[in-house]
Chain A
């Protein structure tokens, strides 16, 4: 230290210091003033702006899916309902490593490895906070297992959801259809506002055709969320008070089917172990009372979501359980069209009630040696109009077919609704086929194929050849015979009920153009003949109908699946099971005021009167209240 430095002047030093402190204080005040000015700006001037931003920060709008309408049978018994179930969800923004998480879920057997790419794409495409459903219904065991593992799976959790449930599963599957998870096409097709938050939509049957009634419309609720988008339990009233009002979802309407569940269940049990279909309807209204297709499948699998293996099994099953035979199965109708053709024959004058034909067991066209065989090899001998129906004489119809002509046949069968869609309120219906000259011209390319041959008219008269009909069409045609030409459009939905007001909108039966003929006497004769089929002394199905406490009418059909070569012996035993004849039957009852018309098709069932008729009879017994004393 410099010893020669001047003596410190404490007073001037202190004065200097004090002045500096004063300057510093001023600067300090200015600095804090800047902060305070800033605070005033933020908290007073821009307060509203920031308050709104804070609200926007924490409030997220989330769609609320409506509750799907229920489906009941005509007596109000539940066919489709919604049950709570736990589903596994993944929230993309909370998952660090999506591949690792999905792989570990596969290791836990919760998801399948085939689905990983799909889940990954879903996770990356939508909003990051929107949950992706990995599995729709967890079993109790899966819930318990996952609960233990949950800490290892951030962003994966199970959530309660309502899942569509069909208590009678397989028995109603083809009547009611099913719902399935929305796919990319559905998303494109459906209104995003109504379907925000919805995971499933109707895929087939009534679930699909009445989707707009059943679904309802989405509502919205406001959630308080934290910075990571996770909902915060709203325990702070201050936070909840600032929320806008929620918009409740509009629940879907309930749908009442004309189906009689007891009849439907009986039909399903009658076809158990077989391939085939039953359609029963009320001929006075067109209401479908039962619509069964066998084999069936469990529609709950679609609602819950099934494994690829399960779906593959359904897809590859040779019995095609997913195929709705009742509305999509096109079968050669066989002799079941004879009553309709009989009407056509009478009306066109091709035959009359007294004309007799001698049946030798076969028929030959002029200038031809080809024998068109009767089902009865020895023939029926002399036979008239009535017996030709009651005993189902093919030769009689072969003969008159030449006089009716294919175009008249087409015309009359068309009036009964064959060869065109019935317009039933179930999607996917097939039109069947009633051939005509015009049809053949339009359908074939080669000139020689476009020509109509007389032989084709012959086999068309017994419902073979090109002719195809669905079980639904046959039931409707049976109903038209029952009502003597009065036709209603077949339908399955009887009423739609608003879920909130319980107000029901009834579906009024839609009357279709009648089958008008010159004399009701013709109806009497045809119906009488059909009555004798079941309850006459020589009817083909008298074994089924005799002794019944009510009067019924019916007509059997046995349709060839493969054509038999000219001189080949027809040996059923040797035919492969799937090449055996289809068994068909149409019927209605009671005779005086028919309440039910039934069509039954049993694939490869061999005999219409032997296999299909008892089924039809059992259905009528059940519906008419004789179910208990009828032999099933």
Chain B
């Protein structure tokens, strides 16, 4: 903290504004990040209200979830990065055990085992969204960057095991996101570009192997993406209707709560995975761009925090959290606009739903903790 600021804090009569700024600082909150998140969540609630058919009950439900998310963010923000780092291997190990438990004793919902009931119902896969990049960052923390090939292989294993466990649930969307979070850590750590390109080439046969692992419904989703019109009332229906919704929105949209695609029930899963289409229909291209700008601001702030971070663990973790958030945004928007197959990835902070919200906000809590716990402040 600059000396002048500290002096002023000590000497000046506590003005309300500086009092507020002090509170934010003492709570380890990053004001810019918080502001960006609040804007996204507020905009999201607006869209959601329309998407759930103007139901106050569901809106309150979601607001409560957001509140829980912000509380989780605040709690995590109070944990110094060193503490997080020391707990990381234990947390990761516990996560793996829970994932195995899910596969053996988990609750079945919608044809998949994802939930575990240990007093509270939760999805261990959600925790691993943070657990995997934390573990990779932990491993690389004391080592000289760029990592050696042997180290990379070990990290690959750390990523691969939970990914496979989650893919077996089956929950391909989450599995891919977790793998992405881990891989981002390696890339940020400085893995040689030649290796990255090589892996990219290897990805082609890898994809073929993955194809054989996929469930029929997952294969169908990929096929549907390639030609949605082949089955307009079946698997292609979602994509067709979502493209119609977005396209018919035009530049300025049909107006809030006036989207015919959403309100006449043509658009499926409009309050969850396809809420981006509601935004596109009712607020048009400008509304969509506004949300994307907010997302980019949050991601940019996260990357700034990562660059400012002062140890390898913090740096890699902050970078991974920020870029994984980008992956969420990209995968969801690309899926809804028909660029990538329909994988069950919600639009972060906007889609209706609980567990992923808490994970996301906890991630932002880590960012805030990293930023507010820098030991060497820049001059």
Contacts and interface: CB of A to CB of B under 8 A. Distances in A.
A246 B254 CA distance: 24
B153 to A, nearest CB: 16
Contacts of A40: 285
Contacts of B296: 32
A58 B248 CA distance: 13
A35 B260 contact: no
B142 A238 contact: no
Given A24-B303, A43-B251, A50 B288 contact: no
A236 interface: yes
Given A21-B303, A31-B326, A44 B339 contact: no
B42 interface: no
Interface stretch (A4-12, A345-353, A451-459): A4-12
B47 interface: no
Contacts of B143: 5, 8
Interface stretch (B72-80, B115-123, B238-246): B238-246
A238 B254 contact: yes
Contact of B187 (A8, A24, A39): A24
Interface in A37-93: 38-40, 42-44, 46-47, 49-51, 53-55, 57-58
Interface stretch (A116-124, A223-231, A509-517, A555-563): A223-231
A223 to B, nearest CB: 11
Interface stretch (B59-67, B98-106, B154-162, B261-269): B261-269
A309 interface: no
A568 interface: no
Nearest to B325: A28
Given A9-B144, A20-B190, A35-B330, A226 B264 contact: yes
A238 B255 CA distance: 9
Contacts of A17: 145, 188-190, 306-307, 315-316, 319
Nearest to A232: B264
Nearest to B240: A53
Contacts of A24: 184, 187-188, 303, 319, 323
A249 B262 CA distance: 33
Contacts of A227: 264-266
- Provide the main secondary structure of the chain B interface: helix
B81 interface: no
A228 B265 contact: yes
B334 to A, nearest CB: 6
B285 A39 contact: yes
Contacts, number: 152
A54 B315 contact: no
Contacts of A18: 307
Nearest to A31: B330
A47 B248 contact: yes
A46 to B, nearest CB: 5
Contacts of B299: 28
A35 B258 contact: no
A227 B284 CA distance: 22
A54 B285 contact: no
A308 interface: no
A16 interface: yes
Contact of A1 (B142, B243, B334, B338): B142
30 contacts: A6-B144, A8-B144, A13-B144, A16-B145, A17-B190, A17-B306, A17-B315, A21-B303, A28-B299, A31-B326, A32-B292, A32-B329, A34-B334, A35-B333, A35-B337, A38-B337, A38-B339, A39-B288, A39-B289, A40-B285, A42-B247, A43-B280, A44-B285, A54-B266, A58-B266, A224-B260, A224-B264, A226-B264, A226-B265, A232-B264
